[in-house]
Amino acid sequence: MSNYLIFITTILAAGVASGTPVLFATIGELFAERAGVINLGVEGMMLMGAVTAFLVSHTLGDPWIALLVGMIVGGLMSLLHALASITLRADQVVSGLALTFVGAGLSSVIGWSLVDVRDAPRLPALDIPLLGQIPVLGQIFFQHNVIVYLGFIMVPIAWFIINRTRPGLNMRAVGEYPAAADSVGINVFRLRYLYVFVGGLLAGLAGASLSLAITPLWIDGLTAGQGWIALGLVIFAGWGPFRAAFGSYLFGAIRRLPLDLQGAPPLPLDAHLILQDPLLSYFANMLPYLFVILVLVIASGEALRKRLGAPAALGIPYIRGERGI
Amino acid sequence: MSAQSSIAERFPYRIRIQKRLDNPRWLSILSPVVLVIGALIVGGVLLSIVGVSPFVAYSRIFRAAFGTPAGWLRGELYPLSDTTIKATPLLLAGLSVALAFRMQLWNIGAEGQLLIGAWAATGVALKLLSPDTPAFIMIPAMMLAAFLAGGLYGAVPGALKAWLGVNLIITTLMLNYVAAFWNNFFIYGPWSLRGFGLTPKFPRTAWLPRLTEFADQFSILRGLTAHAGILIGLAAAFILWYVLRKSKFGYEIKVIGDNPEAARYAGMNIKRNILLVMLISGGLAGLAGMGEVSGVIHIFQERISPGYGFTAIIVAWLAKLNPWGVVLVAYLFGGLLVGGDEIQPFGIVSMLNGVILFVVVGGELLLRYRVRIERSESVTQSAAAGGGQ
């Protein structure tokens, strides 16, 4: 019995760790979308954050400065999208896609010489005293890399900002009804720039946390679609931070499943041998992506029933005095 | 207030962005050219920042992609042939994306649909039909399988979008990854050649004809490996252009894309059209995948596409979703891919692609709006009384 408990604990703990980068990216995108701008460039910003952070850590030897640089690079990238979609009123879908292409290509150019680097300093691991000693729960939540705890802190803070503060209210107003927000003196353009930038910072943080802590290395296309998964999780989360956290950690657990299954204890009917069949791993690797499709289907059904939905002005450029919304 | 007026006095001009009422034809032709040049300049700056000389990179790319006039006179047509090979999947996948985007269906899944098309074509060539099946049955059967498989792979997210309102961008994107794992299962599993990451070679009857096979009649074609897939692509471009322009279906796509509310009031069946467009869109991408395995490598393996399905998005957008434009832009980007093989690091081409798309997207403002510098209000008010335009 305890074998199974250890196995499940391992899966869940790995899920919390490997879901952390996608959590940062999801929260970031959530801010941008709450302000009415959809940014499909998350994948590109994550890649750029990951590669620049890894480069800085490798050359300067300080993972904390590297983390900061990764964040800033993600933020700067997002300003390109902000310029195109907010000021130039370009199509947000295509502009975001362009950002992902730029990020994927540029990160590959920058990271060309980094693919064999294995000794870049990483962010430290930290077992929380006392809490980490709790059986099972301590292992799942409190024996991780420091970056994981930043995720724990960020979720309630994000919720509080969005739902309980004046800036959060202004942000939502800009995303739901920019013309009304404008009429009471809220600067729609400035706020949209701000929250797209916040989204970029957090996407950069997501990438940097991958290359400095969770995966710690650089390979081409390191994120493997996690930026896109963040975009799906925002919808699943109904634009709320707590559900975003749930979705991210669940995704993390599913993403790690093919690896974790290799350590599965003996199961009845020799099921563990089937689970460990190398050919099955191809299907196990599909699971995170199928999982996102599944949660999107569930979320859209729910949205139809409860009449919930995206911020009303999501994806629509605001043009002063030109139309109602 | 006083600060504002003093600035206005010293500098009595301001920039206004106005919506263009007319849409001059010279602008719609000129602007893509200007935008591509602008993108190359931006890309050049980025290249020099990362330590690559843009002039060397660009001239290498161009020479590898299109050759030189002196070379053509010597009968060296292989750069054009190589560019055609890369342009073929970009053309078919570009048409796939252009069709879907016309209806505001953001199908980002051409890559996955291409992979599944290649899988289905391989299944027909290696497993379903015997190797002695004549080519005139084999090739159409592979095309049909690739079209249907790619089409169904596009129709599933299409149906989810039409009936449940599920975000098409995310689902099609996720399915790209699923398709890659699906293919790898077959490549490393049941269809593998002794456990290596590739299948046995296709029978000759499953090969699309190549230029070099006509070298006995025309010696200049010797060694040129461009294959008949480009003809499939051109035929598809013609059919798509005709359907979009002349048929009721094409008209409905345009109306639904421009104004779904109006389309609904006009009694158009939007759900059915979403499904149909995604089916055809996926099918076209599937054909692109078939062309790669049947025209180029004649085996099925993991690396059949360096992201053709993603580049196709840029191709379609730059072509303004026009089928003949896609033909042209596909050749341009085919050349960029051929040239990109000549320069290191590999990511340069992908980066340039992104920059081009960015500049084009941002620059579309040039087309829809015009920037005017005019005198500030206090000055212009008197002028407006005289004659406002």
CA distance B116 to chain A (A): 14
CA angle B12, B15, B16 (to 5 degrees): 120
Place of tokens 């910072």: A201
SS3 A125: strand
Are the Cβ atoms of B173 and A220 closer than 8 angstroms?
A: no
Q: Is A235 on the interface with B (CB under 8 A)?
A: yes
> For the purposes of burial, counting CB atoms within 10 Å of the CB of A182, is it exposed (0-12), middle (13-18) or buried (19 or more)?
middle
Partner-chain residue, chosen from B157, B167, B361, that has the shortest CB–CB distance to A91:
B361
pTM for this one? 0.88
Report ipTM (2 d.p.): 0.88
In the predicted structure, residue A70 carries a pLDDT above the cut 80: yes
Of A22-26, A130-134, A142-146, B145-149, the poorest mean pLDDT is in A130-134
What is the structure's pLDDT at B156?
97
From chain B residues 23-82, the ones with a CB under 8 A of any chain A CB are 46, 50, 52
Q: What region does B16 belong to: left with phi over 0, alpha with psi -120 to 50, or beta? A: beta
Are the Cβ atoms of B347 and A80 closer than 8 angstroms?
A: no
Are the Cβ atoms of A84 and B50 closer than 8 angstroms?
A: no
Mean pLDDT of chain B: 86
Q: Which of B305, B303, B301, B302 is nearest to B337 (CA)?
A: B305
A289: chain B residues, CB-CB within 8 Å: 174-175, 177-178
Would you place residue B385 in the very low, low, confident or very high pLDDT band (cuts 50, 70, 90)?
A: very low
Q: What is the DSSP letter of B103?
A: T
**More confident call, B6 vs B110:** B110
Partner-chain residue, chosen from B157, B177, B348, that has the shortest CB–CB distance to A225:
B177
Torsion angle of alpha carbons A284, A290, A294, A295, nearest 10°?
Answer: 90
In angstroms, the CA A321 to CA B207 distance is 60
Q: How many residues does chain B have?
A: 389
Q: Which amino acid is at A70?
A: G
**Helix H or strand E encompassing B113:** helix B110-122
Would you place residue B384 in the very low, low, confident or very high pLDDT band (cuts 50, 70, 90)?
A: very low
> For the purposes of burial, counting CB atoms within 10 Å of the CB of A215, is it exposed (0-12), middle (13-18) or buried (19 or more)?
middle
CA distance B172 to chain A (A): 9
From chain B residues 127-166, the ones with a CB under 8 A of any chain A CB are 157, 160, 164-166
In angstroms, the CA B167 to CA B202 distance is 38
C-alpha distances in Å from residue B208, one per residue of A2, A159, B142, B228, B293: 59, 58, 10, 6, 9
Are the Cβ atoms of A44 and B160 closer than 8 angstroms?
A: no
A292: chain B residues, CB-CB within 8 Å: 170, 174
In angstroms, the CA A39 to CA B140 distance is 42
Place of tokens 């399905």: B309
A99: chain B residues, CB-CB within 8 Å: 354, 358
CA distance B165 to chain A (A): 6
**Backbone φ and ψ of A323, nearest 5°:** -150, 170
Quick one: CA dihedral A234, A237, A240, A241, positive or negative? negative
CA atoms within 13 A on the CB side of B43: 28
Kindly identify which residue of chain B lies nearest to residue A221, measuring between CA atoms: B347
What is the structure's pLDDT at B350?
78
What is the structure's pLDDT at A267?
75
Q: What is the pLDDT of residues B118-151, one digit of tens each?
A: 999 999 999 999 888 899 999 999 999 999 999 9
What is the structure's pLDDT at A308?
63
Are the Cβ atoms of A110 and B165 closer than 8 angstroms?
A: no
Q: Which amino acid is at B323?
A: P
**More confident call, B317 vs B376:** B317
**pLDDT above 90 as % of chain A:** 52
Are the Cβ atoms of A95 and B310 closer than 8 angstroms?
A: no
Q: Which of B329, B372, B352 is nearest to B86 (CA)?
A: B329
> Ranked by mean pLDDT, which of A39-48, A215-224, B77-86 comes out on top?
A39-48
End-to-end CA distance of chain B: 29
B160: chain A residues, CB-CB within 8 Å: 293, 296-297
Would you place residue A22 in the very low, low, confident or very high pLDDT band (cuts 50, 70, 90)?
A: very high
Kindly identify which residue of chain B lies nearest to residue A232, measuring between CA atoms: B170
Are the Cβ atoms of B354 and A98 closer than 8 angstroms?
A: yes
Would you place residue A93 in the very low, low, confident or very high pLDDT band (cuts 50, 70, 90)?
A: confident
Would you place residue A33 in the very low, low, confident or very high pLDDT band (cuts 50, 70, 90)?
A: very high
| Structural contact between residues A107 and A218, judged by C-beta atoms closer than 8 angstroms | no
Q: What is the pLDDT of residues A224-244, one digit of tens each?
A: 999 999 999 998 888 999 999
State the pairing for strand pair A125-127/B369-375.
unpaired
Quick one: CA dihedral B99, B101, B105, B106, positive or negative? positive
Place of tokens 């076209």: B284
In angstroms, the CA B292 to CA B313 distance is 18
Are the Cβ atoms of B354 and A293 closer than 8 angstroms?
A: no
Question: What average pLDDT does range A250-268 have in this prediction?
Answer: 83
C-alpha distances in Å from residue A119, one per residue of A50, A200, A213, B30, B205: 15, 27, 12, 51, 52
What is the structure's pLDDT at B389?
36
Q: Is B357 on the interface with A (CB under 8 A)?
A: yes
In angstroms, the CA B268 to CA B63 distance is 50
Are the Cβ atoms of A102 and B358 closer than 8 angstroms?
A: yes
CA atoms within 13 A on the CB side of A321: 3
Are the Cβ atoms of A279 and B50 closer than 8 angstroms?
A: no
Q: Which amino acid is at B68?
A: T
**More confident call, B247 vs A319:** B247
What is the structure's pLDDT at B377?
56
**Backbone φ and ψ of B342, nearest 5°:** -85, -15
C-alpha distances in Å from residue B261, one per residue of A106, B49, B258, B266: 40, 48, 9, 9
Question: What average pLDDT does range A22-38 have in this prediction?
Answer: 95
Q: Which of A158, A216, A199, A149 is nearest to A25 (CA)?
A: A199
DSSP B278-328: HHHHHHHHHHHHHHIIIIIISS-BS-S-SSHHHHHHHHHHHTTT-HHHHHH
B361: chain A residues, CB-CB within 8 Å: 84, 90-91, 94-95, 98
In the predicted structure, residue B5 carries a pLDDT above the cut 60: no
Q: Is A308 on the interface with B (CB under 8 A)?
A: no
What is the structure's pLDDT at B383?
45
Are the Cβ atoms of A289 and B174 closer than 8 angstroms?
A: yes
Q: What is the CA radius of gyration of chain B?
A: 25
| Structural contact between residues B97 and B322, judged by C-beta atoms closer than 8 angstroms | no
Question: What average pLDDT does range B151-171 have in this prediction?
Answer: 94
CB-based contacts of B374, cutoff 8 Å, min separation 6: B13, B14, B16, B380
In angstroms, the CA B51 to CA B100 distance is 39
The number of helix segments (H) and strand segments (E) in chain A equals 13, 2
Q: How many residues does chain A have?
A: 325
CB-based contacts of B44, cutoff 8 Å, min separation 6: B54, B55, B58
B350: chain A residues, CB-CB within 8 Å: 101, 104-105, 108
| Structural contact between residues B111 and B174, judged by C-beta atoms closer than 8 angstroms | no
**More confident call, A88 vs A52:** A52
Partner-chain residue, chosen from B166, B189, B310, that has the shortest CB–CB distance to A279:
B189
In angstroms, the CA B142 to CA B122 distance is 8
Q: What is the pLDDT of residues B12-65, one digit of tens each?
A: 676 666 666 666 667 767 777 777 788 888 888 888 887 778 888 888 888 888
Q: Is A314 on the interface with B (CB under 8 A)?
A: no
Cβ–Cβ pairs < 8 A, chains A and B: 150
Are the Cβ atoms of A84 and B358 closer than 8 angstroms?
A: yes
| Structural contact between residues A274 and A66, judged by C-beta atoms closer than 8 angstroms | no
Question: What average pLDDT does range A263-281 have in this prediction?
Answer: 76
Partner-chain residue, chosen from A235, A289, A300, that has the shortest CB–CB distance to B178:
A289
What is the structure's pLDDT at A149?
94
Q: Is B121 on the interface with A (CB under 8 A)?
A: no
Q: What is the pLDDT of residues B296-306, one digit of tens each?
A: 999 999 989 98
CA distance A88 to chain B (A): 6
Beta strands in chain A (DSSP E): 125-127, 143-145
In the predicted structure, residue B1 carries a pLDDT above the cut 50: no
Q: Which of B303, B366, B339, B332 is nearest to B118 (CA)?
A: B303
Question: What average pLDDT does range B192-198 have in this prediction?
Answer: 85
Would you place residue B380 in the very low, low, confident or very high pLDDT band (cuts 50, 70, 90)?
A: very low
**Backbone φ and ψ of A62, nearest 5°:** -120, 110
Partner-chain residue, chosen from A105, A286, A297, that has the shortest CB–CB distance to B178:
A286
Q: What is the pLDDT of residues A143-197, one digit of tens each?
A: 888 999 999 999 999 999 999 999 999 999 999 889 899 888 999 999 999 999 9
Of A134-143, A314-323, B241-250, the poorest mean pLDDT is in A314-323
Kindly identify which residue of chain A lies nearest to residue B170, measuring between CA atoms: A232
In the predicted structure, residue B327 carries a pLDDT above the cut 80: yes
Are the Cβ atoms of B166 and A296 closer than 8 angstroms?
A: yes
In angstroms, the CA B322 to CA B316 distance is 8
In angstroms, the CA B299 to CA B315 distance is 27
**pLDDT above 90 as % of chain B:** 50
| Structural contact between residues B146 and B93, judged by C-beta atoms closer than 8 angstroms | no
Would you place residue B2 in the very low, low, confident or very high pLDDT band (cuts 50, 70, 90)?
A: very low
CA distance A5 to chain B (A): 30
What is the structure's pLDDT at A159?
96
The number of helix segments (H) and strand segments (E) in chain B equals 16, 2
Quote the longest CA-to-CA distance of chain A.
69
